[in-house]
Amino acid sequence: MKTILYLHVQSLVGRAYASWHFIPSLRVPMLFRTFAALPLFAVLSLTFLNLTAPAAEPTFSFTVLEIPDIQRGAGLAIVMRTPSGKTWLYDTGTAHPEKLSSDGWLANFNAGRDLIAQHLQKEDITSIDGIFISHAHYDHFGGLLWLKDNFPIKLLIDCGYIFHSDVEADYLGTNKGELDHYTRVREEFRSRGAYLCATAGETLKLDPDLKIEVIAPPKTWFTAPHITTRPKNDTPSHFLVNANSLMLRIQFGDIVFLLPGDIQTEDIEASLMPFVDKSKLKCHILVAPGHGIHPIPKEFGAATHPEVSIASVFPRYAKGIRSTKDLQALGTKTYVTGLHGNVHITTNGKTYQVTTDRDDTTKPPASVTKPAPAAAK
Ligand SMILES: [Zn+2]
């Protein structure tokens, strides 16, 4: 692609130079005598100068960062850069506030500080145009807790969901403080006029380069379906927060990315598929739902039919995740951050390229752990 573009530019430059060289009225001595030709010369010169500097092809970049294993939640953080220089994040990776830790974060790690800020600084990015948060779990908004106090963030976007139940058992197995913490962060952004609530059916006019559509959840959010097969620790305060992840379809030119958050297999089948316009799920690049840990429902696989999938999960789980086989059966090229490191996609809107930091798919793992059934935090 790059070679073709270079040749194309070269031929344009050649043509412009030939026109200038062989049109006698444009030769410099002539110009001194023919003042009328000056404006024409100026216009042609500017055109010529523009063509000599090879125009950079407008590209959109999409990077899924590798989140390290701090023995708590898999984590997801995606950095997007548009041709006009805007920076959008979808989730901000893991961080858990920890009073006993020397820097206030569990395992002295905050993905906002230790991964995202460094990634942005490397690219000379000094402010963030907006951050989409898929749902209120620390492995998705933990990084925001540091970024919001250390980086200018123009906008926070989420679906506005707050889990509430009068049944105490619905909260078993989750940390209510985590959910409440995110509600406070949302209010902080809302109070300074930097918050946008978005639900299914909306097309967000945030960036002239991107078509951003909200696929789910609906305005009234998904409620608990009657499923009897869930593990006991997968209570509504856990799976409903996952099910109500902000699902986005992002299109640059012809290339479509689908970002479903952490919605789990049962909720894709029972809540998403009956509700969604299936034609909106078709994509080139799928961020595997729920870190790719769970199986991909057949109907969802058929509707999305991605060429490429990316699962964000650390090496300990990377080879045991169940989405890989399901997606490969569809012919999808699968990437897992725990095996490939940062997964980076660049596209000109027609074609795209995937590059990774490494490839450990054939390397024998140091240890493999089968993810627990309710592991997708
Ligand atoms: Zn998660």
C-alpha of residue 26 to centroid of ligand 1, in Å: 64
Chain centre to alpha carbon of residue 210: 13
* Alpha-carbon distances of 104 from 7, 73, 149, 269, 294, rounded to whole Å: 55, 18, 14, 39, 32
C-alpha of residue 376 to centroid of ligand 1, in Å: 5
C-alpha of residue 11 to centroid of ligand 1, in Å: 50
C-alpha of residue 74 to centroid of ligand 1, in Å: 6
Helices (H) and strands (E) in the chain, counts: 14, 15
* Alpha-carbon distances of 135 from 15, 77, 132, 246, rounded to whole Å: 54, 12, 9, 7
Nearest to 184 by CA among 141, 123, 154, 223: 141
**368 within domain boundaries:** no
In angstroms, the CA 212 to CA 252 distance is 9
C-alpha of residue 295 to centroid of ligand 1, in Å: 15
C-alpha of residue 70 to centroid of ligand 1, in Å: 13
**376 within domain boundaries:** no
Residues 260 and 314 in one domain: yes
C-alpha of residue 94 to centroid of ligand 1, in Å: 9
| CATH code for the domain of 237 | 3.60.15.10
Residues 111 and 247 in one domain: yes
Residues 9 and 104 in one domain: no
In angstroms, the CA 333 to CA 324 distance is 9
Q: What is the pLDDT of residue 369?
A: 63
**361 within domain boundaries:** no
Residues 90 and 209 in one domain: yes
Domain count, the chain: 2
C-alpha of residue 284 to centroid of ligand 1, in Å: 22
Cis ω for the linkage preceding 152 (within 30 of 0): no
Residues 163 and 247 in one domain: yes
Residues 121 and 16 in one domain: no
C-alpha of residue 68 to centroid of ligand 1, in Å: 13
**373 within domain boundaries:** no
pLDDT digits (tens, 9 = 90+) for 283-306: 999 999 999 999 999 999 999 999
CB within 8 Å of 282: residues ≥ 6 apart = 256, 303, 304, 305
Which residues in 1-37 are b (16+ Cβ under 10 Å) and which e? eeeeeeeebeebbeebeeeeeeeeebeeeeeeeeeeb
C-alpha of residue 76 to centroid of ligand 1, in Å: 6
Residues 217 and 288 in one domain: yes
Residues 208 and 344 in one domain: yes
Regions of the chain with pLDDT less than 50: 1-50
**369 within domain boundaries:** no
CA atoms within 13 A on the CB side of 51: 19
Q: Tell me the pTM.
A: 0.83
C-alpha of residue 82 to centroid of ligand 1, in Å: 25
Instruction: Give the residue from 36, 52, 68 where a domain finishes.
Output: 52
In angstroms, the CA 298 to CA 305 distance is 10
> In this structure, what token pair is assigned to residue 17?
């130079």
C-alpha of residue 75 to centroid of ligand 1, in Å: 5
Containing H/E element for 265?
helix 265-267
**43 within domain boundaries:** yes
Residues 170 and 88 in one domain: yes
C-alpha of residue 167 to centroid of ligand 1, in Å: 24
Answer yes or no: are the C-beta atoms of 135 and 245 closer than 8 Å.
Answer: yes
- Domain of residue 13 covers 2-52
Residues 32 and 151 in one domain: no
Q: What is the pLDDT of residue 82?
A: 97
C-alpha of residue 263 to centroid of ligand 1, in Å: 9
C-alpha of residue 113 to centroid of ligand 1, in Å: 18
CB within 8 Å of 257: residues ≥ 6 apart = 62, 248, 249, 250, 251, 283, 284, 285, 286, 287, 345
Q: What is the pLDDT of residue 337?
A: 98
**203 within domain boundaries:** yes
In angstroms, the CA 63 to CA 81 distance is 9
Residues 66 and 38 in one domain: no
Residues 65 and 47 in one domain: no
Q: What is the pLDDT of residue 226?
A: 81
CB within 8 Å of 31: residues ≥ 6 apart = 37, 38, 41
C-alpha of residue 83 to centroid of ligand 1, in Å: 29
Ion ligand 1: residues, Cβ under 5 Å: 139, 262, 377
**273 within domain boundaries:** yes
C-alpha of residue 311 to centroid of ligand 1, in Å: 11
Nearest to 155 by CA among 115, 179, 128: 128
C-alpha of residue 242 to centroid of ligand 1, in Å: 8
